[in-house]
Chains A and B, each alone.
Chain A
Amino acid sequence: MIPLPTGTEPVRQFAEVLVMKIAIPVCGNRVSTVFDAADELLMIDNTPGVSPEPSRAFWRENTLIGRTTQIRELGIQVLICGALSGAVARMLEAAGVQVIPFIRGTVDEVFDAFCNGKLKGSHFFLPGCVPCEGQGPQRRRWRGSGRTGGEEKP
């Protein structure tokens, strides 16, 4: 069972809109190292005023496209996952899903860190994937955090 964050304050760390439905592709009780290899999808409904209820969904299809479609159909707003190819991330982001990739750790600690705004800590990122201050694909993924890594001040 996932330890729930204290209170039910809206979670705004990564998304500009209120985050309500978060999903984590998992292997057992751990964030799957690679998105493609996840056994199932753990979903947490974090609607303010409602007690967050975790639930699990098995993948309907084993294809990337099937999984992407399922994530969209489930109304997921934020996907916290392990290693994910840029092409899939682009597809999910284009469909309005905010992707926080290259995360590792147990579901409990990752969800807790996300709710408390501490997921930016380097120990949650897979080796070599910590968002850096310079330009880079990892940094650009932090789109909802208010940091605009894709642009540089003149």
Chain B
Amino acid sequence: MAADMRLNKAQDIILDSIADGVFTVDHQWRIMSFNRAAEQITGVARAEAIGQHCRDVLKAEVCEKSCCLQKTMTTGEPIANKTVYIVNAKGQRLPISISTALLKNEEGAVIGAVETFRDISIEEKLRKTIEETYSFEDIISKNHRMQKLFGILPDVANSTSTILIEGESGTGKEIFARAIHNLSPRKDKPFIAVNCGALPDTLLESELFGYKAGAFTDAKKDKPGRFKQADKGTLFLDEIGDISAAMQVRLLRVLQEKTYEPLGSVESTKADVRVIAATNRTLASLVKEGKFREDLYYRINVIRLVLPSLRERMEDIPLLVDYFIKHLNAVQKKNITGITDEALACLMSYDYPGNIRELVNIIERALILCKTGMIHPHHLPEPLYCYQSVDDGRQPLEVMSIKDMEAIFLTNALRRNGWNRLKTARQLGIHKSTLFRKIKALHIQIPSTGNPS
């Protein structure tokens, strides 16, 4: 008996030392053993997993209809490195690579099956970065304005209408456009992105519509334009507000007639392309100023999505920081475990004129300077490291409490919203009475000139 217990303990130690998740099941698919890596990947504690049906613990899409363990038990054949998706206890959808084999006792009788699995989300992240196949799951936010956008995303993706995405530089307009494309029925066709502001007018024309051989000197052969390349797919026109008046006329014609003529061509070409336009300026103002054609504006502005700046969705910073640390860990092959509360407080006290792009650069810099462990304030750029405290006096970060950090965060949020409490509560995604309670509890002073609402 004691020898058996010692043996079981030794087996547990061995299983826990394996980096891959491992569990074993009996003939009724009840989990018999569950190692530490399996706990980490699934988010289910060993004590909760033991005795449960493996389907309820692993939560893989394949469990219902094509269970790998069942196949192995039926055929006796092992399965190696099959990629499946699971949903862990935190609600994250993770790709894992699984292998299965029969479990036999000393006499060779089958007593169950064993499944080993490995989290391959890092590989998946790298693949997404290379292929730029972003989905809406890559847009991380709990901000109420972003939530509203998520709510209309299915309808937006399913329609064929032109979309206008407005938002400051660095708010993720292209990622949003790619996510819409990847959700749409056109997802298997090309997504072509063109930065209209980066090209002079003549180049942009040939870039968008292509040219025929002999159209101009050095045009030795036909060149397909971006409209042709994006045939049956999506064309993303970034910085649409920067195009010239002449180019606006040409673009209007394509959007209206769904046809265009490549340079030097006498024949029209049909354009089956969904256009997503984006700008970091407000097109309506450009129309008022006479810098943007009204008819083109109305043609583009069928569905208008306005992405909030990062300072309007500060509650997303912890989520974004966590996401970028994981992502950059994978890209830079580092093992940074997270960020300290002090460093996070510094990040949350900043205004981010460069939006998410700036936040990514800050985290990237921190990962270069931070060799191991957690990101500390001194790994951040100096303007972020030194910050204003509530009473406007600088104080060392080490003496900060959670309450102090919360007070700083709320003060900054209120200041950004002109001390308007209703607006601040809406921006933070909390109830106004919660904000009032916090203001009182944290003794935050609202200036007498501040908007009392």
Interface residues of A (CB under 8 A from B): 27, 32-38, 65, 68-69, 72, 82-87, 89-91, 93-96, 101-102, 104, 126-129, 136-138, 148, 150-151, 153-154
Contacts and interface: CB of A to CB of B under 8 A. Distances in A.
21 contacts: A34-B59, A35-B87, A65-B153, A65-B157, A83-B86, A85-B93, A86-B91, A87-B136, A89-B91, A90-B147, A91-B150, A91-B151, A94-B148, A94-B150, A102-B89, A127-B57, A128-B43, A136-B90, A138-B91, A148-B431, A154-B442
Contacts of A32: 64
Nearest to B139: A87
Contacts of A90: 142, 147, 150
User: Size band of the B side of the interface?
Assistant: 35 or more
Interface stretch (B48-56, B270-278, B321-329, B386-394): B48-56
B45 interface: yes
A99 B56 CA distance: 19
A91 B136 contact: yes
Contacts of A138: 89, 91
B137 A87 contact: yes
Contacts of B442: 154
A127 B90 contact: no
A69 B158 contact: yes
Contacts of B431: 148, 151
A37 B89 contact: no
Interface in B142-184: 142, 147-155, 157-158, 183
Given A33-B59, A91-B136, A94-B147, A128 B93 contact: no
Contacts of B93: 85, 87
A144 to B, nearest CB: 14
A127 B49 contact: yes
B44 interface: yes
Contact of B55 (A33, A96, A128, A129): A33
Interface in B50-77: 52, 55-57, 59-65
Interface stretch (B110-118, B247-255, B433-441): B433-441
Contacts of A87: 93, 135-137
Contacts of B91: 83-86, 89, 101, 137-138
Interface of B is mostly: helix
Interface string B75-100: 00000000001110111110000000
A85 B135 CA distance: 13
Contact of B56 (A86, A95, A104, A150): A104
B64 A65 contact: no
A65 B158 contact: yes
Contacts of B434: 151
A14 to B, nearest CB: 17
A86 B92 contact: yes
Given A86-B92, A126-B59, A151 B430 contact: yes
A72 B42 CA distance: 30
Contact of A127 (B52, B136, B183, B441): B52
B406 interface: yes
Given A34-B61, A94-B151, A154-B406, A65 B183 contact: yes
Contacts of B438: 154
Contacts of A127: 44, 48-49, 52, 56-57, 89
B430 A129 contact: no
Interface in B207-224: none
A65 to B, nearest CB: 5
Nearest to B437: A154
Contacts of A68: 154
Contacts of B149: 94
A137 B90 contact: yes
A83 B87 contact: yes
A72 B64 contact: no
Contact of B147 (A27, A38, A93, A150): A93
Most buried by B among A82, A126, A128: A128
A101 B158 CA distance: 25
Interface string B129-141: 0000001110000
Nearest to B147: A94
A65 B154 contact: yes
A102 B90 CA distance: 10
Nearest to B149: A94
A96 to B, nearest CB: 7
B49 A85 contact: no
Nearest to B439: A154
Nearest to A154: B441
A68 B156 CA distance: 13
Contact of A69 (B49, B57, B154, B429): B154
Contacts of A151: 430-431, 434
A91 B137 CA distance: 10
Nearest to B182: A65
Contacts of B429: 150
A24 to B, nearest CB: 14
Contacts of B63: 33-34, 37
B64 A85 contact: no
Closest 6 CB pairs of A and B: A94-B151, A128-B44, A128-B89, A86-B91, A83-B87, A154-B441
Given A65-B154, A69-B155, A85 B137 contact: yes
A134 to B, nearest CB: 13
